[in-house]
Structure 1
Amino acid sequence: MDNAIRKPYAALIGFYPNDRGELIRAIEKSFLDQRFGPGRLPEPLSRKGECCVIGGVAPHAGYSYSGPCAAHLYLELAETTPRPETVVILGTNHTGYGGFFTTTTRFKKWATPLGDVPVDIEFIEALMDKSSRIVDEYLAHLEEHSVEVELPFLQYVYGDEFSLVPITVKDATPSMARDVARAIHDTARELGRRIVLIASSDFTHHGYMYGYVVFTENVAENVAKLDLSIIEHILRLDTEGFYKRLTETGATVCGYGAIATLMEYAKLVGGVEAQLLRYYNSAQLTGEEDIAVGYAAIAFRKQG
């Protein structure tokens, strides 16, 4: 076993197919989904020059649930944004290992059934020099799916010719988000890297299994209203309002720290507008309201 290669854990536990052909079909099915997806495959750089996506929010559930939603962001990237040199993925920390922001230099490549993605070790080391909030702990990434599930979509639209900076985020405050956003922004500038920043997050997790039940009727509709009231703050890049709304509602948005970091990064880039490309929740997808998990694709575009 090559310890320098991070194996596709999420594929092994069923988030997406562990076979190359089946995976490509699953990704294309997500794009072609007429109800929840874009309804078409991306046309590479078909809108070149209109704008550039500097980052975005994408969900990280199993592809059969959130794949069509994620496809909206990756279609936008494929059609408007030349392949970045490095993609920084801010995932949710579900395992609890590591610190508030946790990366890893242990793995030199991350494997998926579509190939191996190299890790930008130079970027990671420079990033940790700029912010003591970012720690290096591979255990936070061994059995974490939130970074990994974004990779096959990125490989589908960009091939393997980009590098990865994986970071998991947990319980980050607005000041932590600002600090890490500044470190990412300054590192990219100093190294001359063209980057895209992805915040991998689902939205409200509603149901007894999540310990969060506030609606007993019209659950799908009410969870959607709740999530959209949170997303309003994201679209305005209103980090403080975003945190305030989460506190008011107790909404279980797992990657809120990752999203806040992306918002703060967008402010540093300047001239960035956020647009909600697609929202739905699992109850709207399945018709079963005992569980409802929200999914959103949000593009952060710099005009011109």
Structure 2
Amino acid sequence: MIRKPVVAGMFYENDFKRLNKQIEECFKGVKEANEKVKAIISPHAGYAFSGKAAAHSFSNLPIADTYVVIGLSHQGYFNCKSLADFETPLGVLKNDQYFTQELKLDVNETAHKQEHSIEVQLPFLQHVHPEARIVPILVSDHKGIAEEIVRVCKEIKRKIILIASSDFTHYGPNYDYVPFRDFVKKNLYELDKKAIEYILDLDKKGFRDYLNRTGATVCGKEPVSVLLDHAKLAGIKKARLLDYYTSGDVINDYTNAVGYASIVFE
């Protein structure tokens, strides 16, 4: 079974050569890989906006047996996995079927077919590791997911890297979130900075409490929470912010703006 791309030609180029060129442009000026990295946070917007931040995350991605890609369902589906291979204009990424089938999660191919939060990560993964195998998981409730991933890892002896798909605060009337109207760039940076500080401290409770307190619209709250649970279970001790900016910086318009961050975990 092959899951076809649904946002090629919208979020990123739908032609092999043009997509390769687009990704190479994103990687210009980005540092080489850090072999200690065990997990990353990467955004899932159109490459014209978030591609540079994604490149910072994926440039730090070492080789692993399997890449567990945690996305969110923008359509509201509950936690689910896909058994499909995922196709992009760069080719087909194989599903690590043995790993995926062992996970005690429902299969929901309809949810995965409609969702872009995993798909947008995959051309970057193919660019750095063309032979990568994936485990695609969509989450709407993080509880218990990291424990299940670690259980399967131990049982089948896989070296994994976890990829959490998340943009940061969505500001503006398009997102029904306008907590301030003046000094938008400064205030948006400050809002996301505090959320990121909790992530860098590996503090899931602090991160979630902060979002609940401020209403900050970090769409990948649940994937990030899975990653922070995984960090605790996997002995990850350190996180680093490699890049942060907003869509407002890209187009010089902050009427509606979304934050993008590259964070790696060692």
TM-score by length of 1: 0.85
Q: Which amino acid aligns with 2:113?
A: L
How far apart in 2 are the matches of 1:272 and 1:89? 21
How far apart in 1 are the matches of 2:247 and 2:183? 13
1:167 corresponds to 2:137: yes
How far apart in 2 are the matches of 1:244 and 1:188? 30
Cα offset for 1:272?
2.6
Q: Name the counterpart of 1:292.
A: 257
Q: Name the counterpart of 1:276.
A: 241
Give the aligned CA root-mean-square deviation in angstroms: 1.3
Q: Name the counterpart of 1:23.
A: 19
Cα offset for 1:271?
4.1
Q: Name the counterpart of 1:147.
A: 118
* Cα deviation 1:118-161 (Å, max 9, x = unaligned): 11121112111xxxxx32111111121100111111110011x2
Q: Which amino acid aligns with 1:203?
A: F
Q: Is the 1:169–1:255 contact (alpha carbons within 8 Å) kept by the matching residues of 2?
A: no
Q: Which amino acid aligns with 1:209?
A: N
Q: Name the counterpart of 1:197.
A: 162
Q: Name the counterpart of 2:76.
A: 96
Map 1:223-302 → 2, pairs under 5 A: 223-301=188-266
Q: Which amino acid aligns with 1:20?
A: F
* Cα deviation 1:72-111 (Å, max 9, x = unaligned): 011112xxx2x212111101211123x1x21122x2x111
Cα offset for 1:193?
1.0
1:60 corresponds to 2:30: no
How far apart in 1 are the matches of 2:236 and 2:197? 18
How far apart in 1 are the matches of 2:179 and 2:115? 28
How far apart in 2 are the matches of 1:29 and 1:180? 35
Q: Is the 1:200–1:255 contact (alpha carbons within 8 Å) kept by the matching residues of 2?
A: yes
Q: Is the 2:96–2:133 contact (alpha carbons within 8 Å) kept by the matching residues of 1?
A: yes
* Segments of 4+ moved more than 3 angstroms: none
Count of aligned pairs: 266
Q: Name the counterpart of 1:73.
A: 57
Q: Is the 2:38–2:236 contact (alpha carbons within 8 Å) kept by the matching residues of 1?
A: no
Map 1:175-186 → 2, pairs under 5 A: 176=143, 179-186=144-151
Gaps of at least 5 residues in structure 1 are 33-38, 129-133
1:136 to 107, 129, 139: 107
How far apart in 2 are the matches of 1:113 and 1:244? 40
1:221 to 180, 183, 186: 186
Q: 1:204 to 1:271 in 2, by over 3 A?
A: closer
SS in 2 for 1:95: coil
